[in-house]
Structure 1
Amino acid sequence: MSTRVNINGTVFLPEEARISVFDRAVLYGDGIYETLRTYDGRLFLYDEHFRRLQSSLAGLEIPFSMNSDELYNEIMKTVEATGHRDTMVRLLITRGISPINLNPCENQSSTLIIIVEKYKPFPQDLYEKGASLVIAQARRNSPKCLSPAIKSLNLLNNFLAYREAIKKKSFDSLLLSIDDYVAEGTTFNVFWVKDGVLYTPDEKVGILKGTTRDIVCLLAEQAGIECNKGFFGKESMLESDECFITSTLKEIMPVAQIDTKKIGYVCPGDITGRLMKLFQEKRDEFMYNPAMKR
């Protein structure tokens, strides 16, 4: 068994999955998405992802009739169809099919797409030695243009930033805001450490409120690690003692180099290593404690 695609409740093999060319996701990128993971067959942080999904849908005024339980059941139906326990789940909701004009039809039905495939771990070297990043020329969208709370299908600036990294043979890219503040990566949030204090960009810079980012901030607070959220120039990050990135798929990944600047003397650093361990413990508690719900 392998990848499966659920379109509006019907599960297909990848080569059989089809949507209309008149779907507004194709015509305009008019839709939202979430990326989730299952560990040993259990969806991790589903409720947090669903809340962000609802926020994105509200921001674009896309109607969607499923409640949390109904959507959960559709996701798990698709996960089970793959035959895999550790999976990557890509969830997309579009505004649906419409004529070729910007004005959406009244009473149109949204399109639900759930893609589930076996999770492919990142190379272990990235967690043991750290990733290399570049600061992209492409910038993060200004929150004055599009709310960062909307996880939309429009990812062209992220794609262009990622292409910059590939051309420079780096793992990935970081984006600055239009005001030259550190924002986020193409698909991840960023943290750094200086003199034992943790720093990360404030949401008001124009970043996505990452679910893993929120967990890391909570774990840091519980561990007595001061965490400052704010508006920081790239020099603050480049002169740090430690740096790491966070996302659903990457979890916590240390960073060894940004552009040509080596970060710190040891990678992963002490605080990064502590947070990686705390995150693994939280994840394992979820996996092996039946009392913990989704």
Structure 2
Amino acid sequence: MAEQWIFLNDEFVRKEDAKISVYDHGFLYGDGVFEGIRVYSGNIFKMEEHMERLYQSAKSIMLNIPYSTEELTKLTIETVKKNGLENAYIRLVISRGIGDLGLDPYKCLKANVVIIVEPLAIFPEHLYESGIDIITVPTRRNRPDVLSPKVKSLNYLNNVLVRIEAHLANVSEALMLNDQGYVAEGSADNVFILKKNKLLTPPGYVGALEGITRNAIIDLATELGYEVKEEPFTRHDVYTADEVFLTGTAAEVIAVIKVDGRVIGEGRPGKHTNILLEAFRKLVVKDGVPTGVLNKNLHVS
């Protein structure tokens, strides 16, 4: 990758010059919101949906974003162009801003806005062909009545603890249950199970983030004639499913072939998972906002 440029509060700076104060409440308290967005062949996938979720998250925690949706969309496109990447991952971060060591958010006078664009691959390509092993973990999902899963906040400690447990078990990802024992989501992914041609995914009220990729798969599956339901299910339902797969902006659509030592289906990515992955990869290059970056070697200064 050529020299990397980051948008930081009204200007573009080089990666090494992108600095935030240690008094920023995003650093001190995880007070802020973010979005992860993908660029495919110069197309920012589901840009409008990501922006809508970002602004809804900010409104929910009473965080004022100092740009309109249209302005921030243009700045995001400009950041992609500035880095000249045809295929990339965008991290858009809005923190509460600089305050003092107290908790009071009203002492933070202006939010900090950061847009990062860089290449990203969460899973190597061969795992999309072979599938992944995962586990369920003791760490429970935050209760929705404590912190809504619809708020994509900077405080990801719940998810980080799950990823630590996955790492200790030497697997790629792990599933969280909620306090009632229902499957909620992975550390960074939504989960789907297929059973007798019915596709199930946990509803938001059990603690699942309403993922952009998740919703895209629901729409695609419905168009392809699948019966899709958002309803609670347990680990037993996962263990006995015909197919299991995860979805996420970074992960896309990836098959799960083993959960807690139980082999799923025939122990390889299922036919329906592959159908949905293929449909998804056709969708990502056309559903979104074009940036005009068509050459991955292009660098705009």
Question: TM-score w.r.t. structure 1 length?
Answer: 0.94
1:125 corresponding residue in structure 2: 126
SS of residue in 2 equivalent to 1:105 = helix
Contact 2:97/2:108 (8 A) holds in 1: no
1:263 corresponding residue in structure 2: 264
1:149 corresponding residue in structure 2: 150
Unaligned 5+ segments in structure 2 are 292-301
Q: Which amino acid aligns with 1:179?
A: Q
Q: Which amino acid aligns with 2:259?
A: I
**Deviation (angstroms), 1:288:** 11
**Deviation (angstroms), 1:45:** 0.3
Which deviates more, 65-74 or 151-160?
65-74
Q: After superposition, where does 1:213-232 map in structure 2 within 5 Å?
A: 213-232=214-233
1:140 corresponding residue in structure 2: 141
Q: After superposition, where does 1:53-68 map in structure 2 within 5 Å?
A: 53-68=54-69
Q: Which amino acid aligns with 2:72?
A: L
2:297 corresponding residue in structure 1: none
**Deviation (angstroms), 1:9:** 2.1
2:93 corresponding residue in structure 1: 92
1:198 corresponding residue in structure 2: 199
Q: Counterparts of 1:118 and 1:285 in 2: how far apart (Å)?
A: 20
Q: After superposition, where does 1:150-165 map in structure 2 within 5 Å?
A: 150-165=151-166
Contact 2:47/2:289 (8 A) holds in 1: no
**Deviation (angstroms), 1:225:** 0.4
- Which stretches of structure 1, 4 residues or more, deviate above 4 A after TM superposition? 287-290
1:167 corresponding residue in structure 2: 168
**Deviation (angstroms), 1:250:** 1.5
2:179 corresponding residue in structure 1: 178
**Deviation (angstroms), 1:92:** 0.5
Contact 2:43/2:286 (8 A) holds in 1: no
Tell me how large the CA RMSD over aligned residues is: 1.8
**Deviation (angstroms), 1:152:** 0.4
Q: Which amino acid aligns with 2:266?
A: Y
Which deviates more, 32-41 or 63-72?
63-72
Q: Which amino acid aligns with 1:257?
A: K
**Deviation (angstroms), 1:104:** 2.0
**Deviation (angstroms), 1:289:** 9.1
Identity %: 35
Q: Counterparts of 2:117 and 2:289 in 1: how far apart (Å)?
A: 22
2:9 corresponding residue in structure 1: 8
Which deviates more, 74-83 or 87-96?
74-83
Q: Which amino acid aligns with 1:272?
A: T
SS of residue in 2 equivalent to 1:166 = helix
Contact 1:92/1:113 (8 A) holds in 2: yes
**Deviation (angstroms), 1:107:** 7.6
1:40 corresponding residue in structure 2: 41
SS of residue in 2 equivalent to 1:15 = helix
Output one character per residue of 1:37-94: Cα deviation in whole Å (capped at 9) or x when no partner: 1112221100000110111001100011312221012112221222221111001101
1:70 corresponding residue in structure 2: 71
Which deviates more, 264-273 or 124-133?
264-273
Contact 1:2/1:83 (8 A) holds in 2: no
2:255 corresponding residue in structure 1: 254
Contact 2:45/2:289 (8 A) holds in 1: no
Output one character per residue of 1:88-123: Cα deviation in whole Å (capped at 9) or x when no partner: 100110111112111123681111011111233631
Say how many residue pairs are matched. Answer: 290
**Deviation (angstroms), 1:4:** 2.6
Q: Aligned pair in 2 of structure 1 residues 96, 121: CA closer, same or farther (>3 Å)?
A: closer
Contact 1:2/1:118 (8 A) holds in 2: no
Q: Aligned pair in 2 of structure 1 residues 2, 194: CA closer, same or farther (>3 Å)?
A: farther
SS of residue in 2 equivalent to 1:73 = helix
Q: Counterparts of 1:242 and 1:8 in 2: how far apart (Å)?
A: 45
Q: Which amino acid aligns with 2:269?
A: P
Q: Which amino acid aligns with 2:208?
A: I
Q: Counterparts of 1:177 and 1:55 in 2: how far apart (Å)?
A: 24
2:24 corresponding residue in structure 1: 23
Contact 1:5/1:17 (8 A) holds in 2: yes
Q: Which amino acid aligns with 2:241?
A: S
**Deviation (angstroms), 1:286:** 3.8
Which deviates more, 231-240 or 64-73?
64-73
Q: Counterparts of 2:116 and 2:148 in 1: how far apart (Å)?
A: 25
Output one character per residue of 1:236-267: Cα deviation in whole Å (capped at 9) or x when no partner: 11110100000111111111111211110152
Contact 1:23/1:98 (8 A) holds in 2: yes
Contact 1:131/1:256 (8 A) holds in 2: yes
Q: Which amino acid aligns with 2:284?
A: R
Question: TM-score w.r.t. structure 2 length?
Answer: 0.92
Q: Which amino acid aligns with 2:257?
A: A
Q: Counterparts of 1:44 and 1:276 in 2: how far apart (Å)?
A: 15
Contact 2:44/2:290 (8 A) holds in 1: no
